[in-house]
Each structure stands twice: as C-alpha cells, then as structure tokens.
Amino acid sequence: MARSLKVADREKTAERLLNSSADKFYDPEVDIDWAAPLAEDKYYIPAHRSSLYGTALWDGLSEQQRIELTKHEVASVASVGLWFEVLLMQMLVKAVYNTDPTTRHAQYALTEVADECRHSTMFARMVERVGCPAYGPKRYVHQLGKLLPTIGYGPAMYGSILVAEEVLDRMQREAMQDDSVQPLVRMVNRIHVLEEARHVRFAREEVVRGMETMGRAELAYQRQLIALVGFFICRSIINPRVYAAVGIDPKVGEQAALHNPHYRDTIHWAGERIMSFLDEVGLVGNPGMSLWRKSFLVR
C-alpha cells in the first residue's frame, strides 16, 4: 500500500524551480556547435550499452559497424525521447488548462513545457546532424501514444513522465562522462541532464501529493496505467529498424536484444532510481506487475 512521504510546499518548490530555470538554461541553437566535425572513431552510446553488446551478432560486427549501430541507436533513443516529450508537453499543457495561472506551480509547468520545446528541437537537430532517420517508436505505439494525454492524469501521468525522464537521464549521465562517446552527443546529454533535474523534482513531488488521497479503485487504475506506459517506453527505446543499418534483419536484431542479458541489465540499471521511488510511494503493484517484469524494470 502507499506510504506517505514528506513533501515540500508546492508553491515554494515551484518558486525555487522557476528561479533555477531563469538562472540556468541552454539554447541548443547557440550553445551547440552543430557544424563541428564528427569524430570517426567515437561511439554514439557507450559500447556496453548497445542493445546487441555481448551477443553473437555483436561479435560478428566490425569496429566501424559497431560505431554505426550505436549511431542509429542514439538516433532511436533521441527520437523516442522527442516523441515522449511531445506527449508530456500535451499533458502539462492540459494540467495548466485546469489550474489558476497565477500560481507558481502553473507557471513552472509552463516553464517546463518551454524546456521540453528546446529539448525536442535539440534531439531533432542531433538526429539530423548524425544523418540517421528519426526512428521514433513503432507505428502502432506512435498511434497508441495519442491516447495518453486523454487517459493520463494524476500520479500515473507524472510517474510515467518520470520513468521516461529518469531512464533516459541515467543513460545520458553515464555517456556524458565517457570519452569513448562522440563529443556532440556528450554535449547534448549534458544540457539535457542539467535541465531534467528540475523536472524530476517537480514531478516527484506531484506524485507524492497525488498518492496522499488515493482510493482503492483509483490506485488500481493508476498502477495499471503507469506499468503500461513504462512497458511501452522501455520497448520503444530501440526501434528494431536500427539493425538494418548494419545489415541485420530488424526482427532478428530485436529478438537478440530482448534475450540479451546485458541489454536487460541496462534497462534495469537505468530504471533503478525511479523504480525504487515509485515502489516507495505505492505505484508499483498489481494489476501492473507482469508488465513491469516484461519491461525489465522489475525482475
């Protein structure tokens, strides 16, 4: 059952986050040198985080093909991140629609939308710069996603935002410190990590507040919804079409990744922090458990 955590005053948190946003933010149009040449010998995500790392398919790739695969993987991660950011902007705008705009928390939600607008532009620009398709999620997931701003609200809405943000955040934090990774990608990650820290704080407090007054039937809905969204996020991060870039049949590559213990560990590791929080507030439980396990976020 849900345990109640201590939560700070909503307006005070929003005020602090607004000040921090005014103080430190990036404009990817001017803060990133998009014309800088790409390093030919650098990976685009750390090799050990590739979805095929450690498999027979990985062993069969040359060094150049491995780099090429991580390039398409980073394009998939960024374009799926962008897809989810566009959904979360819609959800935040919907929350603002029903809130007194003179409150600090409504104003912070708008500020977060502004951050995500810049991030989505930045991710799009990065995909374009490295010369990959904007893979996004599979087509049916793209279609299903349109429902989320309609059916998502409350703790599952903020909780799903957190799953996407924190899973991506953990991967980006590691890659930005890894000098085997392309400098452009590391800079994009650094900018994103810095601004996401505020979003994480805001959403975590909203989750705790929303859980304080939750009835049984509502809890079941919220648990099911967040597990479903968490599952689709994890399954979508790597679009199987990336494998074709190195001559691997997308279906074969996808099956290899889903059965790859290294890749399962990567997802689990990326979700560790957020899952322990969601568990603590009571959002991880039935009827959602089989989906959490299938997502690899829960073992």
Please tell me whether residue 235 binds Fe ion under the rule CB under 5 A: no
Helix then strand then coil, in percent of the chain rounded to 5, is 70, 0, 30
Q: Give the footprint of Fe ion on residues 159-178 (CB under 5 A).
A: 165
Contact pattern for Fe ion over residues 28 through 67, marking x by CB under 5 A: ----------------------------------------
Stretch that binds Fe ion, among 50-58, 64-72, 119-127, 176-184 (CB under 5 A): 119-127
Please tell me whether residue 119 binds Fe ion under the rule CB under 5 A: yes
Helix axis angle for 63-97 and 104-130, nearest 10°, is: 160
User: Tokens in use for 38?
Assistant: 């790409």
Rounded to whole angstroms, how far apart are CA atoms 200 and 206?
Answer: 10
Nearer to Fe ion, 105 or 199 (CB): 199
Nearer to Fe ion, 202 or 231 (CB): 202
The sign of the torsion formed by the CA atoms of 209, 215, 218, 222 equals positive
Q: Which residues of 82-118 are buried (b: 16+ CB within 10 A; e: fewer)?
A: bbbbebbbbbbebbbeeeeeeebbbbbbebbbebbeb
Please tell me whether residue 204 binds Fe ion under the rule CB under 5 A: no
Please tell me whether residue 199 binds Fe ion under the rule CB under 5 A: yes
Nearer to Fe ion, 119 or 204 (CB): 119
Please tell me whether residue 223 binds Fe ion under the rule CB under 5 A: no
Nearer to Fe ion, 88 or 219 (CB): 88
Nearer to Fe ion, 42 or 119 (CB): 119
Query: 180, 41 in Cβ contact below 8 A?
Result: no
Strand partners for 43 = 181
Q: How far is the CB of 218 from Fe ion (least distance, A)?
A: 25
Applying CB under 5 A, which residues contact Fe ion? 116, 119, 165, 196, 199
